[in-house]
Amino acid sequence: MLTVENLSISFRTDEGRITPVQGVGFSVAEGRTLGIVGESGSGKSVSTKALMRLLPGNAEIDTKARMRYIAKSGEEIAIETLKAGSRTLRHLRGGEIGMIFQEPMASFSPVYTIGNQIMETIRLHRGLKGRAGRDLAVAMLTKVGISNPSTRVDQYPHELSGGMRQRAMIALALSAGPRLLIADEPTTALDVTIQAQVLDLMRGLQRDLGMGMIFITHDLGVIAHVADDVAVMYLGTIVETGTAREVLKSPAHPYTRGLIKAIPRADRLDARLEAVPGDIPSPSARPAGCPFHPRCAEVIPGLCDRATPPEVVLSEGRRVRCHLHDQTRAVA
Ligand code: SF4
């Protein structure tokens, strides 16, 4: 339902132009969840905001980028060509592609009730008003597991707990009936137990409704819980893709291996967690060659710091950007 190719995004800043996303490509199939994982600053949120055309005014999408979405009607929409404020873009946001953010307080208006805000979305995207709109809003709150939904519908966002607000945010995003849901770190601000409940809820809803989902997270443990496919991002490029099962079982990229070692394990609570050493550099100071080389434990001296690693296809849908997998290098 969604194919992204050659997506590069630059920002004009006082310090010059920076390019936090370089040549990213991925696809989402109907009824599947793509997990995009990486540290803060890897470009995952910027990439998905481009899909909703929600980038700030100083951002530029490269002209080679292609973002193709197949709408409910079967029509193919070239997202990169949509004009700001156009009818198609308004329909795309919410009606076709829903979005859930990390902090629901930033998405809900504090001055309207939860119900008013859900009913407004229902009116805009489904044309239902009055009693019918309110009934659907209550039904959506029920669907996401909110207790006393006919009371909660008249409450303001600040009257709900964090977990409850995130459930209400999911209800808001789903109330327009999107085919694709983008969830940007939706459980990061929640307690661990509530996190697990919300992840289970999202996974269940995605399966019941047959939606596609893009789930952005910095936590590979969360990917194991929700994703069918995974794209690992580092400094604006995708360094590894595959099914979540394959990538977690046999990670091909040293960065993915580092992220896996950093996941706490319930069966080894006394084990020391291994962090990936160092910090992700700024996109304005991108290292030459492989951008991960200053932090990589398997760096090949004289190569990784000079040559950009090619994308190597390991099997269908399984790709990695690392010199270690480049067979032509081994032969040479
Ligand atoms: Fe490490 Fe080199 Fe592979 Fe980059 S290309 S991840 S530096 S081994």
Q: What is the predicted pLDDT for the residue at 271?
A: 73
Nearest atom (ligand 1) to Cα of 291? 4
Higher pLDDT, 302 or 103: 302
Q: What is the predicted pLDDT for the residue at 332?
A: 44
Q: What is the predicted pLDDT for the residue at 191?
A: 82
Q: Is 44 in the pocket of ligand 1 (CB under 6 A)?
A: no
What single DSSP character describes residue 204? H
Mean pLDDT of 267-285: 83
Parse the chain into domains and list their residue ranges.
Answer: 2-331
Q: What is the predicted pLDDT for the residue at 212?
A: 95
Q: What is the predicted pLDDT for the residue at 327?
A: 83
Mean pLDDT over all residues of the chain? 91
Q: What is the predicted pLDDT for the residue at 330?
A: 52
- Summarised one tens digit per residue, pLDDT across range 63-116 is 999 999 999 999 999 999 999 889 999 999 988 999 998 776 777 899 999 999
Residue nearest atom 8 of ligand 1, based on CA coordinates: 299
- Summarised one tens digit per residue, pLDDT across range 155-213 is 999 999 988 998 999 999 999 889 999 999 888 878 888 888 888 989 998 888 899 99
**Which class in CATH covers the domain with range 2-331?**
alpha beta
Q: Is 183 in the pocket of ligand 1 (CB under 6 A)?
A: no
Q: What is the predicted pLDDT for the residue at 188?
A: 81
Contact assessment for residue 326 and residue 309, using Cβ atoms and an 8 Å cutoff: yes
Contact assessment for residue 262 and residue 273, using Cβ atoms and an 8 Å cutoff: yes
Q: Is 323 in the pocket of ligand 1 (CB under 6 A)?
A: yes
Q: Which amino acid is located at 80 in the chain?
A: E
Q: Is 59 in the pocket of ligand 1 (CB under 6 A)?
A: no
Please check the confidence at residue 317 and state whether its pLDDT lies above 80: yes
Report the separation in Å between the CA atom of 26 and the middle of ligand 1, taken as the mean of its atom positions. Answer: 21
Residue whose C-alpha is closest to residue 28's, from 174, 177, 180, 170: 180
Q: Which amino acid is located at 39 in the chain?
A: E
Q: What's the number of CA atoms in the CB half-sphere (13 Å) around residue 104?
A: 23
Q: Is 4 in the pocket of ligand 1 (CB under 6 A)?
A: no
Two structure tokens written together for 205: 């809803």
Q: Please identify which residue in the block is written with the tokens 């109907």.
A: 30
Q: Is 293 in the pocket of ligand 1 (CB under 6 A)?
A: yes
Q: What is the predicted pLDDT for the residue at 68?
A: 97
Q: What is the predicted pLDDT for the residue at 190?
A: 80
Report the separation in Å between the CA atom of 169 and the middle of ligand 1, taken as the mean of its atom positions. Answer: 40
Higher pLDDT, 331 or 316: 316
Q: How far is it, in rounded angstroms, from Cα 38 to Cα 252?
A: 15
- Summarised one tens digit per residue, pLDDT across range 34-78 is 999 999 889 999 999 999 999 999 999 999 999 999 999 999 999
- Summarised one tens digit per residue, pLDDT across range 162-175 is 889 989 999 999 99
Higher pLDDT, 327 or 55: 55
Q: Quickly count: other Cβ atoms within 10 Å of residue 133's Cβ.
A: 21
Query: Hey, which of 296, 306, 311 would you mutate to test ligand 1's pocket, going by the most ligand atoms within 8 Å of its Cβ?
Result: 296
Q: What is the predicted pLDDT for the residue at 162?
A: 87
